[in-house]
Structure 1
Amino acid sequence: MARVVIFGGTGYAGGHIAREAASRGHQVISYTRSAPEEPLDGVGYRTGSLASPEVLTAAAADADVLVVAVHGADVDGAPLATYMPQLIEAVRSSGARLAFVGGAGSSLVAEGGPRLVDTPDFLDDWKPEALAHAEVLEALRQAPEDLDWFYVSPAALFGVFAPGESTGAYRTGGDILVTKDDGSSEVSGTDFALAFVDEIENHAHPRQRFTVGH
């Protein structure tokens, strides 16, 4: 079983990943700014931010897989991409695998593009977060070849505002947004977590982004 350390383990995506990983017997540690009101069985909770070099070093040292499931546009007042050099260095030094809950905005809507964030109907209010996560993905793609990483982009509708149906199944799409026959694109938190923990266990997408949807 793997030691899975999650930054943002009480958020929507991180909480579902923590629950799924713990249910499979993985050792799970969650880092958040404050302790959860309803802790999950099998999950250890610590307070701290990845913006702290000391916290980050300790978290990476405890991890086989270090999961980042935080907002892309604002981590303690700065974009997540700001912290990528220290994240990458901490994980390389510890020998862990670096894993990200990404955004849907950087996903391609068709082979060769454009990205979802660049389409006319993408809401302006969502663009700062989407573009911040796209910067993180680019930083990973430019990272040294000895960094083991993966990045998972959910379907277009994903989050507490669109919980979706738990089906126990999912589809993947490489860099392309996963859509249904009617053009809709959604995935539940539980099924996204299923895909994420499957990747932790199966190592099917080394140094790759992949998309997930129903």
Structure 2
Amino acid sequence: MSRITVIGGTGYAGAAIVAEAVRRGHQVTAISRTAPTEPIAGVTYIQGSIMNVDVRARAFDGAYAVVTATAPRGAMADQQLELSEALASRAGASGVRLIVVGGYSSLRPAPGKPRFIEGFVPSQYLQEAKVGHAVLEILMAEPFALDWTFVSPAQTFGAFAPGPATGKYRLGGEVAILDKNGKSYVSAPDFAMAVVDIVDAAGHRREHVSVVG
């Protein structure tokens, strides 16, 4: 199976992606600033900052795909764009696939409509949403040689709204998938299933996709 690196591999989304990739038999390296609370057998854990050049080199060493699941908050608040540019540059030069876990605000409510980030976003989420969308813009501006996929989770997704694995999900494009009440949700295990499916299928090259449960 393939070798996959997950940056932010002990976070909410990252840890679920690590677990799913290992379950399928992939060789997995997880990179994060913090040690895992419940290490998974067979995973190579690297504790350190991905802003470190040597750590970043290890992320790409022998990898088929690099999945980055960091968020522009905390220590990464002012470094997310620099990191995204560095990852895109190295992935493009090395031919490694780059899968970026993005945000909901980069989606559109309907085809041809402005993205959510271009309308109203609650003030407490606005800065993070702006940076997250700027990452997508960096990817879209990269040369065609870069094989990237930007994956936006559902509107309700995070440690504040955990849920079990259902074994199913819906995959869409850059238009948000909403229920009849205008809401959407996906659990971490189901989101991870979608991400690893994208890696395994080698599809959705240079596309923005969305995932709901």
TM interval, shorter chain, is: over 0.9
Q: Single out whichever of 93-102 and 187-196 deviates more from structure 2.
A: 93-102
Give the length in aligned residue pairs. Answer: 213
Percentage of matched positions with identical amino acids: 39
Compute the displacement of 1:72 (Å): 2.5
The residue aligned with 1:72 is 72
User: Structure 2 vs 1, CA of residues 140 and 73 (structure 1 numbering), >3 Å: closer, same or farther?
Assistant: farther
The residue aligned with 1:103 is 103
The separation in 2 between residues aligned to 1:161 and 1:18, in whole angstroms, is: 20
Compute the displacement of 1:165 (Å): 4.5
1:131-170 equivalences in 2 (<5 Å): 131-170=130-169
Q: TM-score, normalised by structure 2?
A: 0.94
Q: Deviations over 1:157-189 (max 9, x none)?
A: 000001135321111220011111232111111
Compute the displacement of 1:131 (Å): 1.1
Q: TM-score, normalised by structure 1?
A: 0.93
The residue aligned with 1:40 is 40
The separation in 2 between residues aligned to 1:41 and 1:208, in whole angstroms, is: 33
The residue aligned with 1:88 is 88
Q: Deviations over 1:98-156 (max 9, x none)?
A: 11111111111111122223444x32101111111100001000111111111100010
Tell me if the contact between 2:71 and 2:77 (Cα under 8 Å) persists in the aligned partners. Answer: no
Tell me if the contact between 1:32 and 1:46 (Cα under 8 Å) persists in the aligned partners. Answer: yes
The separation in 2 between residues aligned to 1:144 and 1:74, in whole angstroms, is: 30
User: Structure 2 vs 1, CA of residues 77 and 176 (structure 1 numbering), >3 Å: closer, same or farther?
Assistant: closer
The residue aligned with 1:179 is 178
Compute the displacement of 1:75 (Å): 4.6
Give the gaps of 5 or more residues in structure 2: none
Give the gaps of 5 or more residues in structure 1: none
Compute the displacement of 1:203 (Å): 1.7
The residue aligned with 1:26 is 26
Aligned CA-pair RMSD: 1.6
The separation in 2 between residues aligned to 1:132 and 1:77, in whole angstroms, is: 9
User: Structure 2 vs 1, CA of residues 157 and 95 (structure 1 numbering), >3 Å: closer, same or farther?
Assistant: same
Tell me if the contact between 2:81 and 2:131 (Cα under 8 Å) persists in the aligned partners. Answer: yes
